[in-house]
């Protein structure tokens, strides 16, 4: 099985405000973050499935509604939609339950650096309890971002450790292996049974990508790395090609190599089974 655990849909108008402005400043016209249903379908065509993320982040101008993701994944075998609710919203637990019951989504996407909340703040624990009760895995963007308005001090992977201890059966994934805090991410994922990490978008920084995998290998946690692309920024196909190419940086040296067995294992990870996603 080849399953992409991290993809986005961005329809026109769903990314605006501070995020669009920062993206255009950094990348010019290429910074218009767009991922239409047609583009998404083409990107996942050769795969066994993918997770498609909604995103409710008014603090930075992102609004990918649960209804849009639900409508897109409906009737597409292998595709699982993850809901998103800004934890700052009054009655966030109720909004999450409604989104799940109404739309049949399979998980929850959160990003403290985009939603501007502190994950270890006890005020949000009722919200995590609801996700736990509904058996929803949580995908966390728990790493840095280019958007100046986001809370960088809310985005360290270690901030999730109190949540993992309070809800040991709650499945959680740290996206992008918590970049740039890759080792901190590995530490959190290693000690908490139901935590995983995805390697999406890391291939854009080859040295960090190589070191992230070496570190995961040394800590013995490569079995908790999920394949993800962060489409539209990368495709699964590109990510897999980068994985197979990872050792080229250290060719001709005595530096550690990522073994073929580990690479195969990551590419063929059965993520739906690990996360308990229901078709
Ligand atoms: Zn992403």
Q: What percent of the chain has pLDDT over 70?
A: 100
Whole-number Cα distances in Å, 70 to 16, 18, 99, 140: 21, 26, 9, 19
> 80 C-alpha to center of ligand 1: Å?
15
* Residue 279 pLDDT: 63
> 122 C-alpha to center of ligand 1: Å?
26
> 5 C-alpha to center of ligand 1: Å?
10
| Cβ-Cβ contacts under 8 Å for 263 (sequence gap 6 or more) | 243, 244, 246
**Using CA atoms, how far apart are residues 261 and 102, in angstroms rounded to an integer?**
42
The answer to whether 197 touches 215, Cβ cutoff 8 Å, is no
Q: Which of 3, 15, 7 is nearest to 139 (CA)?
A: 7
Residue 278: pLDDT band by 50, 70, 90 thresholds?
Answer: confident
- What pTM was estimated for this model as a whole? 0.97
pLDDT in tens, 33-77: 899 999 999 999 999 999 999 999 999 999 999 999 999 999 999
> 236 C-alpha to center of ligand 1: Å?
13
* Residue 30 pLDDT: 84
pLDDT in tens, 4-38: 999 999 999 999 999 999 999 999 988 888 999 99
> 151 C-alpha to center of ligand 1: Å?
17
* Residue 39 pLDDT: 97
> 104 C-alpha to center of ligand 1: Å?
21
Return residues with CB closer than 5 A to ligand 1 (ion).
230
pLDDT in tens, 154-186: 999 999 999 999 999 999 999 999 999 999 999
Q: Which of 36, 67, 39, 41 is nearest to 54 (CA)?
A: 67
> 7 C-alpha to center of ligand 1: Å?
6
Mean pLDDT, the chain, rounded, equals: 97
Bin 49: left if φ > 0, else alpha if -120 < ψ < 50, else beta.
left
> 71 C-alpha to center of ligand 1: Å?
20
Residue 149, both tokens: 């308005």
* 25 CB burial (10 A radius; 0-12, 13-18, 19+): exposed
| Cβ-Cβ contacts under 8 Å for 144 (sequence gap 6 or more) | 113, 152, 155, 179, 180
**Residue 53: which domain range?**
3-275
Beta strands, E only, the chain:
3-8, 49-53, 55-57, 62-64, 79-83, 107-110, 138-140, 172-174, 195-198, 225-226
**At what angle are helices 236-244 and 260-267 packed, to 10 degrees?**
170
* Cβ density class 144-183: b for 16+ within 10 Å, e for less: bbebebbbeebbbbebbbebbeebeebbbbbbbbbbebbb
| Cβ-Cβ contacts under 8 Å for 4 (sequence gap 6 or more) | 44, 47, 49, 50, 51, 227, 228, 229, 231, 236, 239
> 6 C-alpha to center of ligand 1: Å?
6
**Using CA atoms, how far apart are residues 96 and 76, in angstroms rounded to an integer?**
23
The answer to whether 236 touches 203, Cβ cutoff 8 Å, is no
The answer to whether 138 touches 172, Cβ cutoff 8 Å, is yes
**Using CA atoms, how far apart are residues 34 and 15, in angstroms rounded to an integer?**
8
pLDDT in tens, 87-112: 999 999 999 999 999 999 999 999 99
Domains in the chain: how many in total?
1
For residue 177, what is the domain's CATH number?
A: 3.20.20.140
Residue 126, both tokens: 């009722």
């Amino acid at each position: 099985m080849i399953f992409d655990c991290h993809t986005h849909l961005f329809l026109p108008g769903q990314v605006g405000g501070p995020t669009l402005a920062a993206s255009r400043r950094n990348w010019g016209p290429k910074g218009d973050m767009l991922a239409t249903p047609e583009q998404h379908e083409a990107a996942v065509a050769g795969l066994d499935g993918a997770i498609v993320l909604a995103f409710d982040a008014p603090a930075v101008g992102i609004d990918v509604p649960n209804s849009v993701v639900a409508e897109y994944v409906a009737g597409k075998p292998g595709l699982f939609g993850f809901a998103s609710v800004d934890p700052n919203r009054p009655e966030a637990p109720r909004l999450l339950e409604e989104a799940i019951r109404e739309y049949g989504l399979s998980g929850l996407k959160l990003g403290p650096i985009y939603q501007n909340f502190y994950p270890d703040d006890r005020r949000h624990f009722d919200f995590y309890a609801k996700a736990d009760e509904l058996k929803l895995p949580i995908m966390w963007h728990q790493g840095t971002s280019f958007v100046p308005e986001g809370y960088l001090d809310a985005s360290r992977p270690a901030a999730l450790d109190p949540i993992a201890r309070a809800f040991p059966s709650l499945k959680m994934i740290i996206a992008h292996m918590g970049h740039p805090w890759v080792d901190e991410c590995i530490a959190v994922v290693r000690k908490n049974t139901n935590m995983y990490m995805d390697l999406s978008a890391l291939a854009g920084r080859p040295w960090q990508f190589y070191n992230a995998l070496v570190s995961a290998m040394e800590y013995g946690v490569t079995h908790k790395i999920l394949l993800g692309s962060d489409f539209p920024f990368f495709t699964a196909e590109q990510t897999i090609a980068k994985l197979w190419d990872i050792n080229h940086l250290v060719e001709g040296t005595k530096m550690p190599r990522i073994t073929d067995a580990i690479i195969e294992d990551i590419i063929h990870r059965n993520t739906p089974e690990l996360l308990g996603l229901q078709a």
